[in-house]
Structure 1
């Protein structure tokens, strides 16, 4: 029997099925839907420059330093435009702090001898790190590993590779639960046993993958039946498409609708 994922990978042509093999987190899924948006592509083509150079620091952190703000990119939730021709595992995508619903706020103080606060470096976090320093001079670091992303806004760290003693901030008491969850994940990132390529815990990863394939096929003008075959395989569709329950037809329609919704702005909800 033909594997539906392998089949759609050959036909979809835009890496929708390839998401199955990568530990995508919510920010990656958000980018996959955004980069298919024709209005975003048009804005990217008009942007100057279309591409900004990243550097890789000695500790492996990818850094983008912005000379100014890019309001047109910020409209899409990004600090700067990313190339829509590149998938999430190929393109460094730098989300804007305002688009991130949950954010760790950290003040980096100078380590002092005898302090009870252990010093850290960004290299202590055993995950991929994308950092952007905007016009305000405040680094925003997106930690990404194991299907989870944690964004950190760091005040007071002049050199990103330097050691610092972290002081974490709360905006108010209602922020405690969300911050506790994020800080627990940050701690996991520092543990020697952490596997950054472990299976992602993102609950909707299969549904999002199916929605992405449905979107790609829909954008190519495929019928609902053809879309269903790309996702579920020809055998299953042949057996169930004309059944009285209409379940598979309804599911395919919902996946197309969901993919379209995420492309047109719903992707922001995936940033978490």
Structure 2
């Protein structure tokens, strides 16, 4: 399991940790590696069902290498040059890409459009423009949210600032602690550990000695946690991608 500092983990990092443990995704990646002639077809047809724009090696731990399909998860923003005529909104965000010290990638889509993927501090956004020439680096840009519900706007502003306008670690969300526990459970299951061994890892040997008997609350709790961990590995990791 990737070791995360409590000050650096993000929802995108957690989502990738779940996905890269998914046996179906791992097997599909192995098939992709063997079928080099079909790589373009597989990318265009199947990657999006995993929430990705393109496949990423599950052995990779650095979430900055993962290209999520931000178009479908509310991290997809339109931008225009500062000099352009534009009806200004209270949600406009001014940024200076000359100060951006994260990872920047140009992604060419199937429809001949292109987007800029920016990742930093464990977060990611993707930018598009009506003018392809604007995908080249500019000193300053005006970001405009693309048809997002108002309840997402404040979170998008936070993410944009986290990606472009700040450096350093992101704050740890206490609510994310349960996901770290789920990842530990998945790794122990993959190592063929028993339910009792998992319970001992999470609750300690004293609690297990006291409460590990048939129909006990502890055995029920462990079964529930294993079920939730597997659900996040299979599909629910996508919930972590959506700004909230």
TM range (shorter): 0.7 to 0.9
1:113-152 superposed matches below 5 A: 120-125=95-100, 128-135=102-109, 136-145=112-121, 149-152=123-126
Q: Does 1:256 align with 2:229?
A: no
CA positional deviation for 1:45: 1.1
Shift of 1:40: 0.9
TM-score (norm 2): 0.76
CA distance in 1, matches of 2:42, 2:132: 19
Q: How big is the shift at 1:86?
A: 2.4
RMSD: 3.5
> How far, CA to CA, are the matches of 2:136 and 2:41 in structure 1?
17
Shift of 1:255: 1.4
* Pair 67,133 (structure 1): closer, same or farther in 2 beyond 3 Å: farther
Give the one of 67, 70, 78 matched to 1:97: 70
Q: CA deviation at 1:267?
A: 1.2
Q: What are the ranges of 5 or more consecutive residues in structure 1 without an aligned counterpart?
A: 1-13, 52-65
Q: Does 1:226 align with 2:203?
A: no
Q: Deviations over 1:211-235 (max 9, x none)?
A: 1111221233321111112233334
Q: Distance in 2 between matches of 1:177 and 1:144?
A: 23
Asked if structure 2 preserves the Cα contact closer than 8 Å seen for 1:83 and 1:91, the reply is: no
Query: Where do residues 27-176 of structure 1 align in structure 2 (5 Å cutoff)?
Result: 27-48=12-33, 70-87=44-61, 89=62, 92-98=65-71, 100-109=72-81, 111=83, 120-125=95-100, 128-135=102-109, 136-145=112-121, 149-155=123-129, 156=131, 158=133, 159-171=135-147, 175-176=149-150
Looking at structure 1, the residues matched to 42 and 96 of structure 2 have their Cα atoms a distance apart, in angstroms, of: 27
User: What is the Cα deviation at residue 160 of structure 1?
Assistant: 4.0
Report how many aligned residue pairs link the two structures. 229
The Cα of 1:270 is off from its aligned counterpart by: 1.1
SS of the aligned residue for 2:119 comes to strand
